[in-house]
């Protein structure tokens, strides 16, 4: 299991970090992490873009979902069949959010191990033959943030960016619409998510927080484009 994780996630991320560090990042670990983050998000852009689009569509069809639930509240099988038909009609995968989390988690773990294990020792093990090992790794970013240890500055910035991304991902329902439990949870998560970011990343190396910050900023830009596209296709939010 570990060999599978190492070959697919840990070693590629470690080697990308060192490759960028040696070349276009000018021996700046922070810039190398930013470049790796952008590359990962560009490669995975179709998945994240589709996921963000489906989350907004899921919110837009909530009035129809609520109507189906009321019509078939005494027959759960018919209710499930009607909901699946509705999701299929709009091309929605109700598990897309969970799938996006599954994609993010191994990348975060790999980056964490790359910083703690790969870059924390004198000799960097696991480099490909075409990636030379640098003599030293400078973990300072912007002159005052040590990426090898936790940084409250990066954590707070990442939490703020995540909050704004979450707010952009909330669809404003028409006036008079009663929020369903699912919608209420989604709105609460815009506050809970940033708090969880602070709690989870508080004791992790700042390098992981920098990745999360850049990824969140990328998601903000992506969410803006998704919202504009859906407004053009379905009309502006209520």
Classify the C-alpha dihedral 158-160-161-167 as positive or negative: positive
Q: Is the pLDDT of residue 184 over 90?
A: no
Residue 237: how many CB atoms within 10 A of its CB?
A: 15
What Cα–Cα distance (Å) separates residue 181 from each residue in 29, 77, 184, 220, 233?
Answer: 43, 20, 5, 25, 27
Dist. CA 216–CA 218, nearest whole Å: 5
Residue 13: band (very low, low, confident or very high) from pLDDT cuts 50, 70, 90 = very high
pLDDT band at 121 (very low <50, low <70, confident <90, very high): low
Q: Which tokens hold the place of 134?
A: 């640098």
Q: What is the mean pLDDT of residues 116-139?
A: 82
Q: How far is CA 112 from the centre of its chain?
A: 15
Closest by CA to 126, choosing from 37, 18, 38, 4, is 18
Q: How many domains does the chain have?
A: 1
Q: 171: closest CA among 217, 215, 235, 221? A: 235
- Of residues 123 and 54, the one with the higher pLDDT is 54
- pLDDT band of 235, cuts 50, 70, 90: low
Residue 175, pLDDT score? 64
Give the pLDDT confidence of 21-63 residue by residue, as tens digits. Answer: 999 998 999 999 999 999 999 998 888 888 888 888 888 888 8
| Domain assignment of residue 94, given as a range | 2-234
- Measured distance CA(12)–CA(6) in Å, rounded: 8
* Interval 128-144 mean pLDDT: 89
- Which of 12-21, 73-82, 157-166, 171-180 comes out lowest in average pLDDT? 171-180
Cα atoms in the 13 Å half-sphere on the side-chain side of 153: 8
pLDDT > 90 fraction of the chain, expressed in percent and rounded? 40
């Amino acid at each position: 299991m570990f060999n599978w994780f190492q070959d697919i996630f840990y070693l590629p991320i470690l080697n990308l970090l060192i490759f960028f560090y040696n070349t276009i990042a000018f021996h700046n670990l922070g810039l190398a992490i930013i470049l790796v983050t952008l590359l990962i998000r560009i490669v995975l852009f179709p998945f994240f873009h589709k996921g963000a689009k489906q989350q907004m569509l899921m919110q837009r069809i909530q009035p129809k979902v609520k109507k189906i639930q009321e019509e078939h509240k005494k027959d759960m099988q018919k209710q499930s069949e009607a909901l699946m038909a509705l999701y299929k009609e709009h091309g929605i995968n109700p598990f897309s959010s969970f799938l996006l989390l599954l994609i993010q988690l191994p990348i975060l773990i790999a980056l964490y191990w790359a910083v703690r294990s790969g870059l924390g020792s004198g000799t960097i093990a696991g480099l490909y033959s075409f990636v030379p090992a640098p003599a030293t790794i400078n973990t300072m970013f912007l002159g005052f943030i040590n990426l090898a240890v936790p940084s409250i500055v990066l954590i707070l910035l990442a939490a703020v960016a995540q909050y704004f991304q979450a707010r952009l991902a909330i669809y404003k329902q028409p006036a008079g619409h009663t929020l369903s439990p699912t919608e209420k949870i989604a709105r609460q998560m815009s506050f809970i998510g940033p708090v969880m970011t602070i709690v989870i990343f508080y004791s992790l190396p700042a390098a992981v927080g920098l990745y999360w910050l850049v990824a969140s900023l990328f998601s903000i830009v992506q969410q803006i484009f998704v919202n504009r596209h859906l407004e053009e296709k379905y009309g502006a939010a209520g």
